[in-house]
Structure 1
Amino acid sequence: MRYNFVVSLLSAASVVYGYGDPMACSGVCNNAHDPALIRRDDGTYFRFSTGAKIAIHSAPSITGPWTYKGAAIPAGSKINLKGKDDLWAPDVTKVGDTYYLYYSVSSFGVQDSAIGVATSKDLTKWTDLGATGIASKAGKNYNAIDSALYWDGSKFVMSFGSFWNDLFVVNMANPPAKTSGTAATNIAFKPEGEHAQEAPFIAKNGNYHYLFFSVGKCCGFDANRPAKGQEYKIQVCRSTSATSGFVDKAGKKCTEGGGTTVLESHGWVYGPGGQGVLYDPSLGPVLYYHYVDTRIGYGDGQKKFGINKIDFSSGWPVV
């Protein structure tokens, strides 16, 4: 009887918010703002995150125990902008035998921003190459932060953007240390409010390219929490092209405010975002992100690393 009662409670909780809680995490599970996750060929997992000149953590398992390994770019970026010693929003991808680590140089709320890149053969020692050619100044309709590299089957593309006209994509050279010189294309825009949309990440499943992104207020929850529902959450649109035509589950264009929610605040999980997708050899596709654990605290430095398995069986990602 007690077992059935517990099962009923768990089922009721699932009905209330419909999301699985993050997988277990051990070791250093904070220091995880805007995480980037990759698995090395020897099975070691590496996590990169905003701040401390891009903090590196590694673990023998995706759930830990995570250990701090130092800064990826300890001397700061070659890009001579304010923020070159406080780098944001890493993204890491392996191309051939080389890892590419993209990062943002910026200051909060301004467009004087640029996306840089560093390379490595082992994910531990990095050579900063500086600017990729993606940059923004006042007057541009985008902000050059929150980049993520993607291979669409024929070329490398870089998604990026935060506020202003929100999310963009630009073609990259091969190897992808620089842009190809083409203009950036708008792929998603929230026309209402503050245009609070950022952190695009494209992942392929089946015939579709899925554009994951974060919507709402990201930070400073300990000082000023937004109205309920206005905090960070993760949404998605999809397209048969990686550079245009993204729509949400209802068919609404992503450039006209579309977006189907994948993960939002629930239970003790608050403000999930800064996400990416990893295809893990044992778990399949997983969504990784940062979030606030309300049982611990709302500070930016307290944000934790979250992972959920993704089910694409409906044609849309469910965690």
Structure 2
Amino acid sequence: MFSRYLGLPALLFAALAHGYANPIGCSGECVVYDPTVIRRSSDGKYFRFSTGNEISYVTASSLEGPWTAVGSVLPDGSSIDLAGNTDLWVSFTSLSQSLSDSIADPVELTLFHFQAPDVHYIDDLYYVYYAVSTFGSQSSAIGLATSATMELGTWTDHGSVGIASSSSKIYNAIDPSLIEVDGTYYMQFGSFWDDIYQVEMNSAATKTSGSASYNIAYYPDGTHPEEGSYMYQYGDYYYLFYSWGICCDYSDALPASGQEYHIKVCRSTSATGNFVDQDGTACTDGGGTIVLESHGNVYGPGGQGVYDDPTYGTVLYYAYTDITIGYADDQKQFGFNVIDWSTGWPVV
């Protein structure tokens, strides 16, 4: 507990030094992990999906809420034949918080099995991509569920999209994120190990195209703690957002300052590679410009996405620990900030 309060002055200093805005208020069901957001075309209702409870989701009339619980996308689990295809909302075990500790294999720090959904509207259907995995394992695969309305009980599970990993791979097939570029779909994925990968999808975005995946972001030191990528096009550039650091288990002990979750970005004129940070360092060589980090009452923001909202404009949304509420993983809150693009780089 003592180390926690030693960290608070550093958070306050970060807020003063960088001037991050506080998250825009959230009401209703605001506890969330790995959020993804979409607005239904027929009536403008917002839907927010998140990790846990077989992909839990909530709805609201605006981005700030009040959010109301709906249920689970796949209450009976996934058809993917891997351990973790029916998940439970379970406690987190206590793990070392230092990236310098000796770890035989880099691991995901959460015990959720249905992980990091990603929602899109394609050909009159709502697509929710998800990952099936178990704690500390590369036995992972990315799946897809679809619905015409997103109403409870209307989802169809399509199983794996063809992206999977095992101990023989140098990546972990979780944290899916799709982007469409001039009629071609690409999937970003990956967590720890060799970090962020990309693969081309078929024309319906339901399976891989058959092309090999390739690396687009890599941190060469320590446990390579990059994950949760999200790509967004603004102007002439494609921006690769991702989460860096230790995501979880803050209630036992906080990581060393700066090692907790925070959000970084690189950009490129191509969606398929050559991403660099604001200093020109390649994203495949440890590059990454910080977009949002701990400040004030906000600790460990990450699991982010970008959304074009009709009220606020382009926003960065994410999950974070509100230190006035608590540090437990099941207390993480939904937050979002308006993005200022005036410098050519996202500023919140």
> When the two structures are superposed, what TM-score results if normalisation uses the length of structure 2?
0.87
- Residue-by-residue CA offset, 1:147-167 (whole Å, 9 max, x unaligned): 001001230000000001100
Which residue in 1 is equivalent to 2:82? 81
Offset, 1:17: 3.6
Offset, 1:225: 1.8
Whether the aligned pair in 1 keeps the contact of 2:300 and 2:320 (CA below 8 Å) is yes
Which residue in 1 is equivalent to 2:328? 299
SS in 2 for 1:15: helix
Offset, 1:16: 3.2
Classify 1:164/1:313 alpha carbon distance in 2 versus 1 (closer, same or farther; 3 Å).
same
C-alpha separation between the residues in 2 aligned to 1:303 and 1:180? Answer: 36
Flag structure 1 segments of 5+ consecutive residues without an equivalent: 1-11
The yes-or-no answer on 1:127 pairing with 2:128 is no
Identity of aligned residues (%): 55
Q: How does 1:173-188 map to 2 (within 5 A)?
A: 173-188=202-217
Offset, 1:15: 3.5
Q: How does 1:6-17 map to 2 (within 5 A)?
A: 15-17=16-18
Offset, 1:107: 1.0
RMSD (Å) for aligned C-alpha atoms:
1.1
C-alpha separation between the residues in 2 aligned to 1:306 and 1:109? Answer: 28
Q: Which amino acid aligns with 1:291?
A: Y
Offset, 1:187: 0.1
Selected match of 1:96 from 106, 112, 123 = 123
C-alpha separation between the residues in 1 aligned to 2:199 and 2:328? Answer: 34
Q: Which amino acid aligns with 2:274?
A: G
Which residue in 1 is equivalent to 2:47? 46
Which residue in 2 is equivalent to 1:71? 72
Q: Which amino acid aligns with 2:311?
A: S
Q: Which amino acid aligns with 1:39?
A: R
Which residue in 1 is equivalent to 2:34? 34
Offset, 1:224: 3.0
Q: How does 1:262-301 map to 2 (within 5 A)?
A: 262-301=291-330
Which residue in 1 is equivalent to 2:61? 60
Which residue in 2 is equivalent to 1:7? none
Which residue in 2 is equivalent to 1:23? 24
Which residue in 1 is equivalent to 2:200? 171
Q: Which amino acid aligns with 1:48?
A: F
Q: Which amino acid aligns with 2:324?
A: R
Flag structure 2 segments of 5+ consecutive residues without an equivalent: 1-12, 88-113
SS in 2 for 1:242: coil
Whether the aligned pair in 1 keeps the contact of 2:14 and 2:295 (CA below 8 Å) is no
C-alpha separation between the residues in 2 aligned to 1:263 and 1:153? Answer: 30
Offset, 1:139: 1.8
SS in 2 for 1:16: helix
- Residue-by-residue CA offset, 1:63-97 (whole Å, 9 max, x unaligned): 00000100011110000111111211100000121
C-alpha separation between the residues in 1 aligned to 2:227 and 2:130? Answer: 14
Question: Is 92-101 or 218-227 further displaced after alignment?
Answer: 218-227
Offset, 1:14: 5.7
Number of equivalenced pairs: 307
Structure 1 runs, 4 residues or longer, greater than 4 Å off: none
Which residue in 1 is equivalent to 2:342? 313
The yes-or-no answer on 1:111 pairing with 2:112 is no
Higher normalized contact order (CA 8 Å, seq sep 6+, divided by chain length): 2
C-alpha separation between the residues in 2 aligned to 1:122 and 1:270? Answer: 35
The yes-or-no answer on 1:189 pairing with 2:230 is no
Q: Which amino acid aligns with 2:35?
A: P
Which residue in 1 is equivalent to 2:237? 208
